């Protein structure tokens, strides 16, 4: 029977095989696989039209989730509003500095 102490990881959580390798080793192995697929002629390369269609299909799938789209729009609106406020504050700051220095005389 297994000895369950606080130092042991629960079963199934230890990284094994490919996942246990460092990132550089994983990249080297994956690169060899890609090169072999190209040499064999089974590799797939997207042309620009095919990539456009794939992106369009993904966008359609995402846009079906109305709550998600509303959250994206809300976040964009908040970002735009905060940027506009920051820009307005910057303009006020520059204007007050110029008037303090006696600038903006005609």
Rounded Cα distance, 30 and 43, in Å: 13
Q: Output the pLDDT for position 62.
A: 86
**Which pLDDT tens digit goes with each residue over 25-83?**
999 999 999 899 989 988 888 899 999 999 999 888 888 999 999 999 999 888 888 88
18, 26 contact by CB (below 8 A): yes
Residue 58: inside a domain: no
Residue 71: inside a domain: yes
Residue 75: inside a domain: yes
In total, how many domains does the chain have?
A: 1
Domain of residue 78 covers: 66-98
DSSP 103: -
- As given in the structure block, the two tokens for residue 99 are 């008037």
Residue 53: inside a domain: no
- Cα 15-17-20 angle, rounded to 5 deg: 45
Residue 90: inside a domain: yes
Residue 22: inside a domain: no
């Amino acid at each position: 029977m297994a000895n369950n102490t606080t130092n042991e990881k629960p079963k199934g959580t230890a990284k094994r095989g490919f996942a246990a390798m460092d990132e550089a080793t994983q990249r080297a192995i994956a690169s060899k696989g890609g090169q072999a697929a190209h040499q064999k002629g089974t590799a797939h390369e997207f042309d620009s039209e095919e990539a456009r269609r794939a992106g369009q299909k993904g966008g359609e799938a995402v846009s079906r989730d109305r709550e998600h789209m509303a959250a994206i729009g809300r976040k964009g609106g908040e970002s735009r509003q905060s940027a506009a406020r920051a820009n307005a504050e910057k303009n006020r700051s520059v204007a007050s500095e110029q008037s303090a220095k006696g600038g903006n005389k005609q």
